[in-house]
Amino acid sequence: MSAPLLQLQQVSKKFNDGDARGNVLALRDVNLTVQKGEFVSILGPSGCGKSTLLRIIAGLTAPTAGRCLYKGQPVTKPSLERGYVFQDPRLFPWLTVLENINLANSSINGEELLEKMDLAEFGQALPHELSGGMARRVALARALAPRPSLLLLDEPLASLDLPLRHNLQTELQRIWEQHGVTCILVTHDIDEALALGTRLIMLSKRPGSIRYDIPLELSLPRTGHQERVRALKTQVLEWMEVR
């Protein structure tokens, strides 16, 4: 059998603040295996190291202990195979939407991607002309442009209002289905985690480690399984209280 897409083995991360408080342990002994085609929702309280976990997978930061393997190879630096969507859109304000999307690789067809995301007429717009939701869609398109196998989503829908969130959640689902990209979504929104994931992982509070890892074997869209989703949510809330 070939190596799984992603493997974290005993990953720990310690931050050195450089002040009197000394070291802060953000993650402790995280073991995680992600197979191709999964949509993993990672849920946890704020400050539990969710983002740090994603940054380690992306190669933006190295674990203090343990190994992070992508397709069997240790992750040492970012790669275009692993797309990253940040909490904020972080578009370069002096580049047009199309230029932002084509940043990594100008050979891909950014216009086609824009069309797919309903942004066709905004290709020549500058980021400040976009609404918050559009800017996030552009950030998503920018991450998808190099055709990654793994998409890392760091609360990409935080601070959006509810209707917009729902819109973009549907969008994410569609991308996951159509592009065949494996997704890891970090969020602190239970509904979002349950609506999108095929697997739910709950982290403990700092230092973050995996407390629960449950499959969500529900077909999409989840609206047809409201009872089951509600029961899961009650369960998850209960787990969160226990912590």
What are the start-end ranges of the H helices in the chain? 50-58, 97-101, 110-116, 132-144, 162-179, 190-196, 226-242
Q: Tokens for 41?
A: 């929702």
Dist. CA 168–CA 164, nearest whole Å: 6
Residue 25 or residue 104: which is nearer to another protein going by CB? 104
Nearer to another protein by Cβ, of 186 and 194: the residue is 186
- How many Å apart are CA 72 and CA 6, to the nearest integer? 7
Closer residue to another protein in complex, CB, 91/195? 91
Min separation Cβ 10 and another protein, Å: 25
Q: Which of 24, 103, 160, 164 binds another protein (CB under 8 A)?
A: 103
Residue 90 C-beta: closest distance to another protein, Å:
5
Binding to another protein, residues 59-98 (CB under 8 A): 60, 77-80, 83-84, 86-96
Closest distance to another protein from the beta carbon of 72 (Å): 20
Tell the smallest beta-carbon distance from residue 211 to another protein (Å).
Answer: 27
Is the CB of 9 or the CB of 87 nearer to another protein? Answer: 87
Place of tokens 């629960």: 212
Nearest CA among 56, 48, 33, 52 for reference residue 240: 48
Burial class (CB within 10 angstroms; exposed 0-12, middle 13-18, buried 19+) of 95: middle
Give the per-residue contact string, 143-162, with another protein (x = CB under 8 A; - = no). Answer: x--x------------x---
Tell me the CA end-to-end span of the chain in Å, nearest whole number: 37
Residue 15 touches another protein, criterion: CB under 8 A: no
Could you tell me how many residues of this chain bind another protein (CB under 8 A)? Answer: 29
Tokens of 36: 């191709």
Positions in the binding site for another protein (CB under 8 A):
58, 60, 77-80, 83-84, 86-96, 99, 103-104, 126-128, 142-143, 146, 159
